[in-house]
């Protein structure tokens, strides 16, 4: 059973106050883009995980755990437990999504494993687990897993896991600049907290953190009308300052994208991948070429969005 699953970029990542459980309250607009990992699952006598770069991809998989700690293996165990089946999964992951890149690659693999294992093991006439159940199970694995099951464009609140699909029109054309070496998501959130404490967060709420984030109306309007320029102007990421503090060279990457015609530029999620929105497909080609020539990125990748979530191929 093979499932193809997309990467995401956050069109808005609004980081609110830190909660008692250590997570931050978020307003997150997720957008699935056409960079895909492929996850193949077979029922096996013993659990197994293999990870490799997808054909033609230069993704470095050295830092991905090829054992039962892999989020996809945890997803398989969760599905088996929920279905009450005594089955093991041999999982093979072919990665094209940058690793620790702020594009939710690990979450994507977990989502793909959820869908693959449910299809393999939930074989009664009336499936026990539907898509909504898998979205819910995903939340037990990580904040970005539910969206990778769902795909498209969606607003996430809470830890980012409570999702509502967003209305969009047409296709948006993206260019991504990857970096050598990932950034740890917890480290970026911690740096965001540290910077806010340093600034004294003047309008902080009772929790002593940031005020609650709200979804951007100009962003939702640009999505609904297919307005690339409007969307580019409305892109925001509250983790960007923290990612830039930990990796100052990203400033040059963002500048290079803007110089080469991007209508929007931001760090993707917790970084270090930078995302650039182009006005149309032709501009995306020019932008990718310009960024390649600027030699500021490990790799320059093109993609479009929105695309559907994890799907059996
Ligand atoms: O949920 P997930 O394991 O994907 O999150 C990774 C890390 O990102 C968390 O351990 C936490 O440090 C940070 N995080 C957060 N607030 C969120 C989501 C993630 O602080 N809403």
Residue 160 has a pLDDT of 87
Any domain includes 68: yes
Stretches in the chain below the pLDDT threshold 50: 205-207
270 is in an annotated binding site: no
Is residue 10 lining ligand 1, measured as CB closer than 6 Å? no
- For residue 124 the two structure tokens come to 């009664």
Determine the distance separating the centroid of ligand 1 and the alpha carbon of 101, expressed in angstroms: 14
CB-neighbour burial class of residue 311 (10 A; exposed 0-12, middle 13-18, buried 19+): middle
Is residue 304 lining ligand 1, measured as CB closer than 6 Å? no
Looking at the structure of the chain, the number of domains it has is 2
Q: Are 290 and 163 in contact (CB under 8 A)?
A: no
Peptide bond into 306 cis (omega under 30): yes
Range of the domain at 59: 2-167
Closest ligand 1 atom, residue 25 Cα: 21
> Could you tell me the CATH number of the domain that includes residue 194?
3.30.70.890
Taking every pair of Cα atoms in the chain, the longest distance, rounded to a whole number of angstroms, is: 58
Which domain-ending residue is among 167, 199, 219? 167
Question: CA–CA distance from 150 to each of 6, 8, 132 (Å)?
Answer: 10, 11, 9
Q: Does residue 290 share a domain with residue 192?
A: yes
Residue 198 has a pLDDT of 93
Pocket test of ligand 1: the residue of 70, 101, 163, 186 to mutate, having most ligand atoms within 8 Å of its CB, is 186
- The set of residues, in sequence order, having a beta carbon less than 8 Å from that of 237 and lying 6+ positions away, is 10, 12, 13, 266, 267, 268, 269
Q: What is the ipTM of this complex?
A: 0.91
Any domain includes 79: yes
Q: Which residue, among 34, 138, 128, 4, has the nearest Cα to 76 in the 3D structure? A: 138
Closest ligand 1 atom, residue 189 Cα: 20
Residue 201 has a pLDDT of 61
Alpha-carbon dihedral angle through residues 291, 38, 10, 149, given to the nearest 10 degrees? 160
Is residue 186 lining ligand 1, measured as CB closer than 6 Å? yes
Any domain includes 14: yes
Determine the distance separating the centroid of ligand 1 and the alpha carbon of 161, expressed in angstroms: 11
> Of all helices (H) and strands (E), which one includes residue 287?
helix 281-294
> Could you tell me the CATH number of the domain that includes residue 90?
3.30.230.10
Which domain-ending residue is among 167, 182, 205? 167
Q: Does residue 246 share a domain with residue 203?
A: yes
Which domain-ending residue is among 167, 197, 221? 167
Q: Does residue 125 share a domain with residue 236?
A: no
Q: Does residue 178 share a domain with residue 116?
A: no
Among protein residues, the one with the nearest Cα to ligand 1's atom 7 is 186
Q: Are 212 and 19 in contact (CB under 8 A)?
A: no
DSSP 167-219: ---S-EEEEEEE-SS---HHHHHHHHHHHHHHHT-TT--TTSSPPPP---HHH
Q: For 244, how many CA atoms within 13 A lie in the half-sphere containing its CB? A: 14
Determine the distance separating the centroid of ligand 1 and the alpha carbon of 7, expressed in angstroms: 17
Any domain includes 48: yes
Q: Does residue 212 share a domain with residue 126?
A: no
Q: Does residue 181 share a domain with residue 114?
A: no
Q: Does residue 254 share a domain with residue 155?
A: no
Instruction: Using only the alpha carbons of the chain, give its radius of gyration.
Output: 19
Q: CA-CA distance, 287 to 198, in Å (whole number)? A: 36
105 is in an annotated binding site: yes
Any domain includes 313: no
Any domain includes 250: yes
Residue 158 has a pLDDT of 93
Any domain includes 311: no
Pocket test of ligand 1: the residue of 13, 16, 24, 108 to mutate, having most ligand atoms within 8 Å of its CB, is 24
Residue 304 has a pLDDT of 98
Any domain includes 310: no
Interior angle at CA 305, CA 187 and CA 138, nearest 5: 50
Determine the distance separating the centroid of ligand 1 and the alpha carbon of 115, expressed in angstroms: 23
Q: Does residue 7 share a domain with residue 147?
A: yes
Q: Does residue 206 share a domain with residue 147?
A: no
Closest ligand 1 atom, residue 28 Cα: 21
107 is in an annotated binding site: yes
Determine the distance separating the centroid of ligand 1 and the alpha carbon of 286, expressed in angstroms: 35
Pocket test of ligand 1: the residue of 159, 184, 271 to mutate, having most ligand atoms within 8 Å of its CB, is 159
Residue 209 has a pLDDT of 61
Three-state SS for 7?
strand
Question: CA–CA distance from 179 to each of 108, 185, 266, 273, 297 (Å)?
Answer: 19, 15, 14, 6, 6
Residue 202 has a pLDDT of 57
Q: Does residue 188 share a domain with residue 82?
A: no
| Residue numbers annotated as active site | 8, 144
106 is in an annotated binding site: yes
Q: Does residue 47 share a domain with residue 13?
A: yes
Q: Does residue 201 share a domain with residue 117?
A: no
């Amino acid at each position: 059973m093979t499932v193809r699953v997309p990467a995401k970029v956050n069109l808005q990542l609004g980081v609110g106050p830190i909660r008692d459980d250590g997570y931050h309250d978020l307003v997150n607009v997720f957008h699935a883009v056409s960079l895909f990992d492929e996850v193949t699952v077979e029922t096996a006598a013993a659990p197994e995980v293999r990870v490799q770069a997808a054909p033609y991809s230069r993704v470095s998989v050295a830092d991905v755990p090829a054992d039962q700690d892999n989020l996809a293996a945890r997803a398989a165990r969760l599905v088996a437990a929920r279905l009450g089946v005594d089955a093991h999964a041999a999982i093979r992951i072919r990665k094209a999504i940058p690793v620790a890149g702020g594009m939710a690659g690990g979450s994507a693999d977990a989502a793909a494993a959820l869908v693959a294992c449910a299809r393999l093991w939930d074989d009664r006439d009336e499936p026990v687990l539907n898509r909504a159940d898998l979205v819910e199970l995903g939340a037990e694995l990580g904040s970005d897993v539910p969206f990778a099951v769902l795909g498209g464009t969606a607003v996430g609140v809470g830890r980012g896991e409570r999702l509502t699909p967003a209305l969009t029109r047409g296709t948006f054309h993206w260019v991504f600049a990857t970096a050598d070496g990932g950034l740890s998501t917890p480290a970026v959130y911690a740096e965001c907290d540290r910077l806010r404490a340093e600034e004294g967060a003047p309008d902080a709420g009772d929790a002593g953190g940031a005020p609650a984030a709200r979804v951007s109306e100009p962003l939702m309007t640009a999505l609904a009308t297919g307005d690339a320029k409007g969307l580019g102007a409305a892109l925001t990421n509250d983790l960007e300052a923290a990612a830039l503090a930990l990796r100052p060279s990203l400033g040059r990457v963002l500048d290079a994208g803007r110089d080469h015609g991007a209508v929007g530029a931001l760090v993707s999620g917790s970084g270090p991948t930078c995302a650039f929105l182009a006005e149309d497909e032709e501009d995306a080609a020019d932008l990718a070429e310009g960024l390649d020539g600027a030699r500021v990125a490990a790799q320059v990748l093109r993609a479009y969005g929105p695309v559907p979530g994890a799907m059996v191929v």
